[in-house]
């Protein structure tokens, strides 16, 4: 039986379900209070915004199991790795507050490197800017953090990312909207996106995205809490290990294979065919022999006697299906 890259739908729906939330807004709009409603949380606090709540010793802090005050993206990586190693023992939620400050830390770290390069080259460090190389490194770090969050979520850990609000302006500088002050298009990485604001003394949130269909896009929620999505929270399913970091290495290998493939294409057809068949698994070799017999009337043991047209057809088949 030929193995499939696809997981059957009926198996996929049995997997554990955790949430990936992104909330953003101006200061004092209730983002932190919303985070405190999430179950059994550990917090990466980059703005020292939780001290007052923890000191009060009130019900607001009852869900908090741990906190680290840091602005370093490397501590975010360490924190997620620690949660993965411990298999989320006693922890249901990771809160990062705020993603804005963590992103600024990444840029600041890379800017420090650029300034050092400027000094080394006897250039004025005040004229140093982030190079294309540095922006590529920032994107690499961003993607690494994103994939770590996805993996943690696949293990049953909720992710709550809290960000500051940034104005969106047109070409004339007129404010036409708002977005999270973090990497562009970050909202694509989350299941639920909420914009927090205060109106007439009420803490409100506008739903910008909800994959769970608990609320419609554009709907306004008053005093939102985790429990509003509670019936979608399922940790009784099967654990699955989803790591997109491995896909980077996979893509790198595919690229290297493609380069080798182009080199192979320049060789004689018989040599090409031999090299390609050699890479097949025992199962695929059996299937391949049967297929070329049925499709082309060629005996796999007699490929050396095949015509050039037949060899080209067989090689095309190998490229397309094996």
Same-domain check for residues 187 and 273? no
Same-domain check for residues 112 and 236? yes
Question: Tens digits of per-residue pLDDT, 74-89?
Answer: 899 999 999 988 888 8
Tell me if the pTM is above 0.85: no
Question: Tens digits of per-residue pLDDT, 245-270?
Answer: 555 555 556 556 656 777 777 888 88
* Predicted local confidence at residue 242, as pLDDT: 56
Q: Would 106 be classed as within a structural domain?
A: yes
Which residue range is the domain that position 24 belongs to? Answer: 15-240
Same-domain check for residues 177 and 276? no
Same-domain check for residues 235 and 271? no
Residue 19 phi, psi dihedral angles, 5° rounding: -100, 145
Contact assessment for residue 47 and residue 98, using Cβ atoms and an 8 Å cutoff: yes
Q: Would 5 be classed as within a structural domain?
A: no
- The 8 Å CB, 24+ separation contacts for 47-52 are 47/97, 47/98, 47/101, 49/97, 50/97
Q: Would 62 be classed as within a structural domain?
A: yes
Q: Would 288 be classed as within a structural domain?
A: yes
- Residues in the chain with pLDDT values less than 50: 1
Same-domain check for residues 177 and 312? no
Q: How many DSSP H helices and E strands does the chain contain?
A: 10, 9
Q: Would 208 be classed as within a structural domain?
A: yes
Same-domain check for residues 188 and 119? yes
Q: Would 9 be classed as within a structural domain?
A: no
Q: Would 10 be classed as within a structural domain?
A: no
Number of domains in the chain: 2
Q: What is the CATH number of the domain that holds 101?
A: 3.40.50.300
Residues 301 and 215: their CA atoms lie apart, in Å, by: 63
Residues 224 and 234: their CA atoms lie apart, in Å, by: 20
Go through 195-216 and write b for each residue having 16 or more CB atoms within 10 A of its CB, e for each that does not. bbbeeeeebbbbbbebeeeebe
Residues 165 and 170: their CA atoms lie apart, in Å, by: 17
Contact assessment for residue 235 and residue 40, using Cβ atoms and an 8 Å cutoff: no
Residues 138 and 140: their CA atoms lie apart, in Å, by: 5
């Amino acid at each position: 039986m030929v193995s499939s890259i696809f997981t059957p739908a009926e198996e996929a729906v049995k997997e554990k379900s955790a949430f990936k939330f992104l909330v953003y807004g101006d200061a004092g709009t209730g983002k932190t209070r919303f985070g405190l409603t999430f179950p059994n949380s550990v917090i990466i606090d980059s703005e020292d915004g939780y001290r007052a709540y923890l000191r009060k010793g009130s019900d607001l802090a009852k869900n908090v199991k741990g906190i680290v005050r840091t602005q370093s993206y490397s501590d975010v990586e360490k924190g997620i790795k620690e949660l993965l190693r411990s298999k989320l023992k006693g922890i249901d939620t990771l809160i990062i507050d705020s993603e804005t400050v963590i992103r600024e830390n990444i840029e600041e770290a890379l800017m420090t490197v650029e300034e050092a390069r400027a000094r080394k080259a006897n250039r004025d460090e005040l004229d140093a800017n982030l190079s294309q190389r540095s922006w590529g490194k920032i994107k690499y770090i961003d993607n690494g953090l994103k994939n770590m969050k996805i993996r943690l979520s696949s293990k049953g850990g909720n992710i709550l990312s809290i960000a500051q609000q940034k104005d969106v302006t047109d070409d004339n500088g007129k404010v036409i909207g708002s977005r999270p002050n973090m990497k562009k298009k970050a909202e694509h990485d989350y299941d639920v996106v909420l914009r927090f604001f205060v109106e007439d003394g009420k803490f409100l949130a506008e739903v910008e995205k909800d994959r769970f269909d608990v609320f419609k896009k554009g709907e306004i929620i008053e005093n939102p809490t985790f429990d509003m999505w509670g019936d979608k929270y399922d940790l009784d399913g099967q654990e699955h290990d989803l790591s997109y970091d491995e896909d980077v290495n996979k893509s790198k290998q595919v690229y290297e294979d493609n380069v080798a493939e182009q080199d192979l294409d320049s060789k004689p057809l018989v040599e090409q065919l031999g090299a390609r068949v050699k890479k097949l698994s025992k199962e695929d070799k059996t299937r391949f022999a049967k297929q070329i017999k049925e499709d082309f009337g060629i005996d796999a043991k007699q490929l050396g006697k095949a015509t050039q047209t037949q060899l080209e057809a067989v090689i095309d088949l190998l490229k397309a299906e094996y």
